[in-house]
Amino acid sequence: MATSWAEHEVKALLREAGIPVPRGVLSLPEARSLTPPLVLKAYGPSLIHKSDAGAVALGLDLPDISGAAADMRTRLGDRIAGFLVEEQVPPGVELIVGLVRDPSFGPLLLTGLGGVFTEALRDTAIRLCPITESDARAMLASLRGSRILYGWRGGDPVDVDAVVKLLMTIGGPGGLWERLSLGEFELNPVIAAPSGVVAVDARYLPASSHEDVVPGPAGDFTALFEPRRVAVVGASATRPNFGNMFLEFYKTTGVPLVAVHPSAREIDGVPAVPSLDAADVDYALVAVPAERCADVVRQAGGVPYVQVMSGGFAEAGHQDLEDALLAAARESGTRLLGPNCMGVYCPRGRQTFIGGGLGPAGTIALVSQSGGLAGEVVKVGERRGLAFSRVATLGNSLDVTPAELVSWLSRDPSTQAIGLYLEDPRDGRALFSAISESRVPVVLLVGGRTSQGQRAAASHTGGLVSDARVWEALAAQAGAALVTSQDDLIGVLHYCQAHAARPFSDGVLVVGPSGGASVLAADVFSRAGVELAALPDAALDDLRALGLGVGSSLANPLEVPVGPRGRPELVRDAITAIVRRQPYGDVVAHVNVQSFFTFGTAAEPLLEYARRLAAAQDALPETRITLVTRNGECAPAGVEDEVRAIAATAGIPVYRSMEAAAVAVAAGRRLLGGNDGAA
């Protein structure tokens, strides 16, 4: 294991980089050259947390130094390799600044409130290196205690520019992060004051070694999604299994198909060949036991892509089988999906891994490390109106990685937005770059975000970096939308599909019935970080002329009576009256479906409302209309589907709750060109 540097060695490095540190000496007699009050620090290989060990004495005068050193010697003995005496820095705001190497994402920069507050408050922000100046300022602004930096309750503001310069010196382009072998590096505390910053304490633990993930060669993935012919390896001639199930799936799509079987001439009506090297295909699905997969893949010379559906590899404790599988893929020259994955879905390429036929070809791509979740997103998404361009499941991501696919899909002419479900990205640094450079919106759902990834015990930085916070940092820096549920993944992708082509403008307007629902809607959008702008004064008389505002104020959210006995065109007319006076980029129209069937019996009034809303969207191409069908389960079977179908003719996404709509609108606005103050 690498040995940590002594504090004076780290501070020499800081001084060379232009980071202010206290004046100090290593010889007790030389302390006469310093100006009291003084600080005495013992150092040694085992004295990592000096304050906890009692290896720091503050506020000393010159005559106190020898006695304090003797006392430390008595208590700490041979743990002490030497002493550092420094001038004590006047008090200020204490910050922590640290670096740590994440196993997947590489060097990370952390900052926050430091000193004794570091672990007590855990008020910190994280970014992937290198950071920009805007990243540095956003990190500071995101702290819950950020107000004390800018002057609070009569206190003087600190020199924030000096703090930003410090963060850039450590984590920016050409910063210390590029020169250090991490390990961990931490300054805690840094004293920030109106006059600047001083790194009071510093520690550096070099890494003994680290390995960066080396992905396979990137390529053109067209044949993966649009193969001219597909092979299925592992279907049985006597006892139906997963291979036979996939043969049936493929038979429904009409893609040219061949089975691989050592003796059968055909399986389930599909012609068979004895080995994969005789198949002449672009894509092969392998569904045989894990211990046989490497032998099959070794036969795949000339097959561009092989997908190993089988599990039982590293995820089950069999790293040796996974290593052999990768070696076989390298030997045959094929690219490998999986293992432990379901496959690929692409309506235009007749590729599938799910039953029930193919949905419509569309513009939404999905990359998922879970085949089951991907199948749910496809089927539920298509039911709600999504149309997919390309879907790939990757399982263990042994060869083909999420980063490679995101990079390729972002340049794919048929794709306008990308959804991701990830658990272990394999190549987090490359994924960060791919998302940052994507020309299309990326929506990210991550499994296992709550696990606390303790990186090391040598510093607070290691303990404060968790998986969840790294993904939040990646999304913030790369411009992705990070969601917390499968439903929100579908919802944000639906918003992007519906509204990507519409021009962006500011402002969000909420329109619908019930004062209580409107109040709750305002709360929901506020929590999502979306400001509901006030109605334009010029539109108020127009709204009153429509009969609105009687018994209620004219505000945003706007209360409009909608129900079985209401005027179905009223919401359309109100929206038109408002946006004619002041553009609103987004209009969220909500309706209480339950009321149509409590105070009425027929679906027609609700369907007519949907038609009028669709007409409003057609007439207002620069406004993004979203529909929320609250309490939709109260409608008779099939009615919600009819409402969705009507809305789809005008490109209106439909949500069943205000919460889902708020998440989609907030994320969609960030992804497609604006933020309205959204976090």
CATH 3.40.50.720 fits 227-319, yes or no: yes
Cis check: omega of the bond before 274, within 30 degrees of 0: no
pLDDT band at 46; cut points 50, 70, 90: confident
Question: With contact defined as beta carbons under 8 Å apart, do 393 and 370 qualify?
Answer: yes
Across residues 264-291, what is the average pLDDT? 95
Whose CA is closest to 161, among 186, 145, 138, 137? Answer: 137
The 10s digit of each residue's pLDDT in 305-333 is 999 999 999 999 999 999 999 999 999 99
Whole-angstrom Cα distance, residue 193 to residue 149? 9
Look at residue 429 in the predicted model and tell me its pLDDT: 92
Specify the DSSP element, H or E, that contains 327: helix 319-332
Look at residue 457 in the predicted model and tell me its pLDDT: 36
Across residues 491-497, what is the average pLDDT? 98
Global pTM value: 0.90
Mean of pLDDT over the chain: 91
Across residues 86-115, what is the average pLDDT? 92
Question: In 614-629, which positions are buried (b, 16+ CB within 10 angstroms) versus exposed (e)?
Answer: bebbeebeebbbbbbb
Question: With contact defined as beta carbons under 8 Å apart, do 620 and 579 qualify?
Answer: yes
pLDDT of 636 above 80: yes
Q: Distance of alpha carbon 674 from its chain centroid, rounded?
A: 18
Beta strands 624-630 and 654-655, pairing class:
parallel
Assigned superfamily of 93-206: ATP-grasp fold, B domain (3.30.470.20)
pLDDT band at 142; cut points 50, 70, 90: very high
Task: Record the tokens describing residue 360, joined without a space.
Answer: 């419509």
Block residue for tokens 């040219």: 256
Whole-angstrom Cα distance, residue 108 to residue 588? 39
Whose CA is closest to 125, among 171, 74, 194, 169? Answer: 171
Q: What is the DSSP letter of 89?
A: P
pLDDT band at 452; cut points 50, 70, 90: very low
3-class SS of residue 287: coil
Whole-angstrom Cα distance, residue 608 to residue 530? 30
Whole-angstrom Cα distance, residue 474 to residue 453? 16
Whole-angstrom Cα distance, residue 156 to residue 154? 7
Across residues 338-355, what is the average pLDDT? 96
227-319 and 341-501 have identical folds: yes
pLDDT band at 53; cut points 50, 70, 90: confident
Q: What is the DSSP letter of 194?
A: T
pLDDT of 578 above 60: yes
Question: With contact defined as beta carbons under 8 Å apart, do 232 and 243 qualify?
Answer: yes
Whole-angstrom Cα distance, residue 660 to residue 627? 11
User: How many degrees, rounded to 5, is the angle at CA 627 between CA 623 and CA 633?
Assistant: 175
pLDDT of 675 above 50: no
Compute the 3-state secondary structure of the chain and give helix, strand, coil in percent, each to the nearest 5: 40, 20, 40
pLDDT band at 104; cut points 50, 70, 90: confident
Across residues 176-186, what is the average pLDDT? 90
What are the residue boundaries of the structural domains of the chain, listed by start?
A: 23-87, 93-206, 227-319, 341-501, 503-672
pLDDT of 422 above 50: yes
Assigned superfamily of 503-672: Succinyl-CoA synthetase domains (3.40.50.261)
* CA distances from residue 132 to 61, 142, 182, 255, 257 in whole angstroms, order as listed: 42, 15, 20, 48, 51
Fold of 341-501: Rossmann fold (3.40.50)
Whole-angstrom Cα distance, residue 626 to residue 671? 16
Specify the DSSP element, H or E, that contains 508: strand 508-512
Fold of 23-87: Dna Ligase; domain 1 (3.30.1490)
Whose CA is closest to 67, among 89, 38, 46? Answer: 38
The 10s digit of each residue's pLDDT in 66-81 is 999 999 999 999 999 9
Question: With contact defined as beta carbons under 8 Å apart, do 465 and 102 qualify?
Answer: yes
Look at residue 152 in the predicted model and tell me its pLDDT: 78
pLDDT band at 209; cut points 50, 70, 90: low
Question: With contact defined as beta carbons under 8 Å apart, do 226 and 347 qualify?
Answer: no
